[in-house]
Amino acid sequence: MQLDLNLLAVLDALLEEGSVTGAAERLRLSAPATSRSLGRIRRLTGDQILVRTGRTMTPTPYALEIRDDVHYLVEQSRAILEPKRTLDLGTLRRAFIIRGNDALTTAIAPHLLAAIRQAGPGLSVRLLAEADVDTNDLRHGRVDLEISSTLPVLPEISHETLGDDRLVVAFRPDHPCAGAPLTVERFAAADHVIVSRRGRTEDPIDVALKDLGLRRRVVASAPTSTAALHIVSRSELLVVVSEQICRSTLNVCGLHTGTPPFALAPVPVTVAWHQRYDNDKAHAWLRTQVRDAFATFLGRVGACRGPAA
């Protein structure tokens, strides 16, 4: 039996996208052509691969079992067949797209943009704000990198943890909490603003307080840490933010920080990308620049910490 290896690429796209339309868009094929390929795959494997459940399609147990192997074979085939070109940043024309938390993006942007400007005239970067809902933009190739504090859940998303940051309580120098030790009772009695891209008014801190038999009043949520810190600088509210990542904004706003009066886990800083870029030399270069930018930022912030309560 003659095997059409192109079907592996179609199968890989179908298993990642979970739909004929999505796979067709990725492969730049028509939906009917992709549907015909799915029919051939079904006949070859003796399995339905994707079955319709309402308006979506769900992979069969067999499809889930072979998904990682199929992806590996496709990536290995590309590595073998593609020419081993060296990376010439001076002639490369590419616009990288990075989505990230506002504080993280602000922290690394100066060093990252300096590296991109120096590397080549055809390079640029688009910095996008976090979406207020979870997206599949990495999977669909609409975003090159996502920088956040959460780990990816999709198996085809690669990631690297660059480091972590501790959480601190920020407030104005003349805030009532600035004049005495910040006990858990004083923390809970104060009014708060929290950072939530989805507009939520509760977060893990409320769970920690509930375990201690306490509640706090959350007056508002802000979509970014920068917005929350500016609000705090003009009010008698408290906000909990990442210490190092938000240091420049903390200093500009003239805010003091204190240690939370209960244990809070450090916030990881994670960069994520789709596996299709694992062996892409330009993408690997971008990841290195993001890694270096974060390390440079941490080195600088250590020398310019603001006042602590």
Q: What is the mean pLDDT of residues 162-189?
A: 92
Distance CA 289, CA 113 (A): 9
Distance CA 262, CA 213 (A): 13
Q: Dump pLDDT digits (tens) for 220-246.
A: 999 999 999 999 999 999 999 999 989
pLDDT at position 127: 92
Domains of the chain by start residue, with CATH: 6-81 (1.10.10.10), 94-165+268-301 (3.40.190.10), 167-265 (3.40.190.10)
pLDDT at position 26: 81
pLDDT at position 307: 42
Q: Which of 305, 177, 168, 303 is nearest to 237 (CA)?
A: 177
Retrieve residue 168's tokens: 């601190």
Which pLDDT band, with edges at 50, 70 and 90, does 17 fall under? confident
Q: Dump pLDDT digits (tens) for 24-75.
A: 888 888 989 999 999 999 999 999 999 988 778 899 999 999 988 888 888 7
Q: Say whether pLDDT at 4 is over 90.
A: no
Mean pLDDT estimate for the chain: 87
pTM of the model: 0.70
Distance CA 147, CA 153 (A): 14
Q: Say whether pLDDT at 303 is over 80.
A: no
Question: Following CA atoms 143, 149, 154, 159 in sequence, which dihedral angle do they give, to the nearest 10 degrees?
Answer: 70
Which pLDDT band, with edges at 50, 70 and 90, does 185 fall under? very high
